[in-house]
Structure 1
Amino acid sequence: MIRGPVPLYKSSAVDAIKLRKANEYSFWGSRNAANRVEPIASPHFDFKLDLEPGDKIFTVGSCFARNVEGRLATAGYRLPMRDLMDDRSFAGVHPRALNNFSTPSIWNELGWATGESQFDADQAIVEYASGKWLDLHVTHNVQPAPRDTVLRRRSAITKAYGSFRDCKLIIVTLGLVEVWYDNVAGTYLNSLPPPPLIRRYPERFELHVLSHDETLDYCDRAIGLLRKYGRSDAVILMSVSPVALGITHRPEDVMVANCYSKSVLRTVTEEMVARHDNVHYFPSYESVLQSDRQVAWMNDFTHVSETLIAHNVDRLVRHFDAGGVGDESLESVHASIEAGGASAAHLHAIEARKADPNSAARFFSEFGEWSQKSPTFATEHIEWLVEQKQAAKALDVASLTDARSERIKMAKARALLMLKRNREALDILYDPKLEDARSSRYWSLRVEAEGNNGDIAALETTLSGWSRALPKHASQARIHVARALLAQSSVGRALELLELALVDNPKLALGHILSAEAYLLRGDLAAARQSFALAEPATPSESRRYNKLKDRIGELVGT
C-alpha cells in the first residue's frame, strides 16, 4: 500500500500564492540595493516574547550557546547555567565544560534533572589515574579530580539543568550528530572519551553517526521534558550552532561530514517548530553560513567571529527589548565599533537605518567619519541620506570614498536626479556594468533621467534593454516608460505600452490610473472614467495618484 504524502507544512495553492506575495522576505533581494544578505546576512525571524533584563534564560547546547550566554549576561539577563561556575567545585573550570553537543546528551541531562532517568555514577564516573576521576558526560577538557569533587560537580550540573523549570525563555542550540556511545552504560556520551580511556577500554566506546530519525527522536524527547516540567508560558527557542565540526572520525572530508551533521540538525529543528506552538527557530546558523567568510569565521575556519556572534545576539536581544534599535547608547556603540572595527561599524550602520530618523541622524553624525574608512559603511550612509532627501549631503559623503560599488553609483544617480542634474546622472547610469546588473531599480532610474531630459528615442532604447535584461519585468518596464512619455505628452505611444502591460497583468492599478490620465490628455473623459473604474490602488503612492485623478475627473464631470 502506497502511503499518501505527509508534509511538514501545507496550504492551498491560492493561500500559498497570497503568502508569498505578502511576505517581503520571500526573495533574496539584490546586490544593487540595500539588502539583508551581504556582507553580513540577517535572515528575518519573528516570534512573540515579552522579556526584560533580569528575567531568567536557560541555555543548553554547544560552544555557540556559551557565546550567547556571555552576551546575554552583559545585557542584564539572568542565566542559571552560567551561575554554575560560581560553585566552588568548579573553581578554575572554563564555562565550555557545560557544552552539550548532541540531542542524546541533551536528553540525558534533562532526564537526570527531572528524575525521568537516573544518573549511574558507578558507570559514568571512571578513574582516569590514581585518585583522579572523570565524569564521562562532561567535556574531557575538564581536568580529572578526586571522586568526591567530580560527584559534587555532577550534583551541581544536574541541579543547574533543573533550573529551566522557572525560566521564561529556553534556548536550545544543537551542535553535531557525530557522537560517542558507551557500550557498558548503554548511553551516549557528550564528547570523545579521553584517548587513555579508549586505550584502556578498547571495546567500551564506539563512534555513532546519528540518522535523522535518531536525532529527531532524542530531540523530541528532550523538548517533551522541557514542555512537561517547564513554565506553561515558556518559549523554547531553537538554533543550530554554526560552529563547524572541528575534526571528523569518518573516512571523508570534514566539510562533507559537517554538512551532513548541520543538515540533519536543521531539519530536526524545523520539525520541532512544526510540532509545537511554543517552539521557535532563530536563524543564527543561516546568518553565519550566508555571510562573507572573511567576516564570519575565525582563522581556524571552525569558530564564529566575535563580530557575527555580537550581530546575532544583539538582534535577538533587540527583539526582546521593546525599546528597539534606536535605544542603544552611543557609548555602547562606540565600544562595540572600537572592538569590532569596520565590520562592527557597518553592522551598526545597517541597524541605524532601521531606526527612527532622529536616532539614525545622531548615529551618522557621530560615526560619519567611517565613510572615509569603510566602503560598506559609506554605502549605508549615502543611501540613508538619499532616503532622507539630503541629496547634496549624500554627494558630499560619496566624494569622501574611493569606493565605486554599484550601490554607491545608484545612490549617487538618485541624488543627482533629486538635484535636477540629469546629464550627470545619466553619465553614471550609462555604465555598462550597471546595465548588466539585472536590477529594475537601475532601469527605472534611467527612465526617470531620460524622461526628465525629454529624450523619447532614449526611452525606447531603455525599454528594449529593460525588457531584454528582465523579461519577467516587461510590464513594469512599459508602465515606467509610459509614465515618462505622458510627461512629454506622447499620449499615443504611452497608451500602446499601457495596453500591452495590462494585457499581461490586468490588475496593475498604476496601469489603469495612467491610462485614465492619458485619456484625459486626449480629451476622452468617457474612456478615462472607464479606466479609472478598474484601478484598485495597493500602495500609498498609487493611492495619492488615484485620489488626485479622482478629483480631476470629478471636476470635469461636474462641469
Structure 2
Amino acid sequence: MADTPQNSPYQGRPSRSFWRGGVVKAGAYPPSDLFEPKFPVDREMKIFTAGSCFAQHVGRVLRENGFNVLDGEPAPEGMPLELAQKHGYRIYSGRYGNVYTVRQMRQLLAEAQGEFIPATPVWEKAGRFYDAQRPNVDPRGLASPELVEKARDQHLHIVLNMLASADLMVFTLGLTEAWEHIETGTIYPTAPGTIAGDFDPEVYRFKNFRAHEVRADFEALRDALKAINPGLKFLLTVSPVPLTATASDQHVLPATVYSKSVLRSVAGELAMDFDDVDYFPSFEIISSHPAPKSFFEDNLRSVTPEGVGRVMKLFLASHGVASAEGDEDGGDDAQKRDRLRALRKARRARRKGDQEKSQADVVCEDELLEAFNK
C-alpha cells in the first residue's frame, strides 16, 4: 500500500470529519459533536417559533426545559390543553397554525405590516366561515366573515409585536409544495376544499418552489424582520417528516426527497452566508440511514417520542443546557444553581398538566390529505 501523503489537506482533521470516526465509531447516536452552535441560545432569550408540524415538538421541548418561548395568544383560562391545541393555542408563539413554506411566512409578515392583502381571505363550509390563512385554528369556523376578519386583525397585531421584540426565531422548513392564488400569488397552508372553501382550477394552482425561490423568500423575510428588529437571530431546521401526499406528477417518495433536498440545501447556504442564521440538523438525525428505525412510527412518517427526544437532547447539550430529564455535569456552582432552578420550573409546569404528549397532540393539516387516498 502506498504511503499516506504527508501534505494532504485531510491530514490532521478531527475524527468528526471522517465517516468511520464521526459516525461508525462515534458510539451513541447522534454523535455528541454533530452540532456546533454558531451563537448561544439560552433560557433568557425571547424565542418565536414557527414552521411545519415538527416545529411543534421543538417549541414544546424548549418550554418544558424552561426556555422563554413567546406565547402571544394564550388559551383562555381554564381551557383544557387538548381543546386549546385543537383551536391553535399552545402550538406556536401565535395562532397562525403550521407555516409550511417560507413564502407563507414572508406573506404573513407583510400582511401584519399592512403591505400585503391575501386573496380570498375567508373560506366557507356549511354556513360557517374560516380564515383561509389558518383554517384549522377554528375547527367549527366562525359565524360570519366579519368575525373572521376581526379575529385576523387582532392576530396580525400580536404577531407583529412578537416579531419586533423576539431575540430568536426558530423556523422549521417543511415543504416546497403549496397552493397559490393565480392572480395574486397568495399562498395557503392547505389546498382550498381540504378543510373549507372550494377548489377552482381557474383561481388556484399547484406551486412547487425551486431552491432559488426559497432562498429569495427567506432573504426578503430576513431583511424585513431586521428592519424592525435588528438584533434578531434565526435558527433554521428542516422537518424530517415526509409528505403525506404530493400534487406533483412524481411518486411521493422522490417528491419528498426533492422537497427536503431543496430546503436542506437552502438552509445550509443561508447558515454559511449570514452570521445571524444557524442551522440545526434535526433532519439529518432522524432521516439519515444510520438512524434507528425506532425514530419513525409504523406509518414511516410520524417521528416517535424517542426520535424527538434524541434530537432535542443533542440541541440542549450543544448549548450547555440541562435537560428536564436530568441535570448535566460541569459548570460552576452558580451555573448549577441556575440550571436547577430552570429544571424545577419545568417540572412544576409539567405537574400542572402543561406538558403536551409528544405525537398525539401534533396538529398537521396535511395529514387530512390521507382521506383522499382511495
Give the TM-score range, shorter chain: 0.7 to 0.9
TM-aligned CA deviation for residue 246 of structure 1 = 1.2
Counterparts in 2 of 1:25 and 1:213: CA distance versus 1, 3 Å: same
1:55 corresponding residue in structure 2: 45
Give 2:214's aligned residue: 215
Q: Could you tell me whether the CA contact under 8 Å between 1:126 and 1:133 is conserved in 2?
A: yes
Aligned counterparts of 1:249 and 1:32: Cα–Cα separation in 2: 36
Matching residue within 132, 135, 142 for 1:136: 132
User: Counterpart of 2:342?
Assistant: none
Give the letter aligned to residue 57 of structure 2.
N
Give me the whole-angstrom Cα distance separating, in 2, the residues matched to 1:297 and 1:310.
Answer: 12
The 5-angstrom pairing of residues 70-219 of structure 1 reads 70-80=60-70, 82-86=71-75, 92-94=86-88, 95=91, 98-115=97-114, 117-120=115-118, 123-130=120-127, 132-140=128-136, 142-143=138-139, 144-146=141-143, 147-162=145-160, 163-195=162-194, 199=198, 201-219=200-218
Determine helix, strand or coil for the equivalent of 1:269. helix
Distance 1:73 1:153, change over 3 A: farther
Rate the CA distance shift 1:150–1:42 in 2: closer, same or farther, 3 A: farther
CA contact (8 A) 2:37 2:319 kept: no
Query: Which has the higher Rg, Structure 1 or Structure 2?
Result: 1
Partner of residue 294, structure 1: 293
> Given residue 234 of structure 2, which amino acid in structure 1 is its aligned partner?
I
User: Against the structure 1 CA distance between its residues 46 and 32, is the aligned structure 2 distance closer, same or farther, given a 3 Å change threshold?
Assistant: closer
TM-superposed CA distance for 1:125, in Å, is: 1.7
Percent identity of equivalent pairs: 22
Is contact 1:100-1:190 (8 Å) kept? yes
Match of 2:261 among 260, 263, 267: 263
Residue of structure 2 in register with 1:68 after alignment: 58
Shift of 1:45: 1.7
- Separation (CA, whole Å) in 2 of partners of 1:241 and 1:16: 37
Q: 1:176: Cα distance to partner? A: 0.7
| TM-score, with structure 2 as normaliser | 0.72
User: Aligned residue for 1:435?
Assistant: none
1 or 2, which has the higher strand percentage? Answer: 2
CA distance in 2, matches of 1:328, 1:218: 34
- 2:9 counterpart of 1:17: yes
2: distance between equivalents of 1:159 and 1:112?
Answer: 10
Choose between structure 1 and 2 for higher RCO, CA contacts under 8 A separated by at least 6 residues: 2
Larger % of helix: which? 1
CA distance in 1, matches of 2:59, 2:214: 24
Give, in angstroms, the shift of residue 196 of structure 1.
7.8
CA drift of 1:197 comes to: 5.8
Tell me the distance in 2 between the aligned counterparts of 1:55 and 1:112: 26
Instruction: State the shift of 1:264 in Å.
Output: 0.6
Residue 165 to residue 17, structure 1, CA distance change in 2 (3 Å): farther
| CA deviation profile, 1:63-88 (whole Å, cap 9, x unmatched) | 111111111111112222x4424268
Asked whether the 8 Å contact 2:286–2:307 carries over to 1, the reply is: yes
**Equivalent position of 1:241 in the other structure:** 239
Long gaps (5+) in structure 1: 1-13, 334-350, 357-559
Report 1:448-487 matches (<5 A).
Answer: none
Output one character per residue of 1:423-456: Cα deviation in whole Å (capped at 9) or x when no partner.
xxxxxxxxxxxxxxxxxxxxxxxxxxxxxxxxxx
Unaligned runs of 5+ in 2: 1-5, 331-374
8 A Cα contact 1:166 1:231, kept in partner:
no
- 2:51–2:100 CA contact under 8 A, matched in 1: yes
- Pairwise mapping of residues 363-378 of structure 1 onto structure 2 (< 5 A)? none
- How many residues were matched structurally? 311
Correspondent of 1:35 among 10, 26, 48 = 26
Name the TM-score, length of structure 1 as normaliser. Answer: 0.50
Moved more, 64-73 or 139-148: 139-148
Q: C-alpha separation between the residues in 1 aligned to 2:7 and 2:142?
A: 61
Judge conservation of contact 2:297–2:303 (CA < 8 Å) in 1: yes
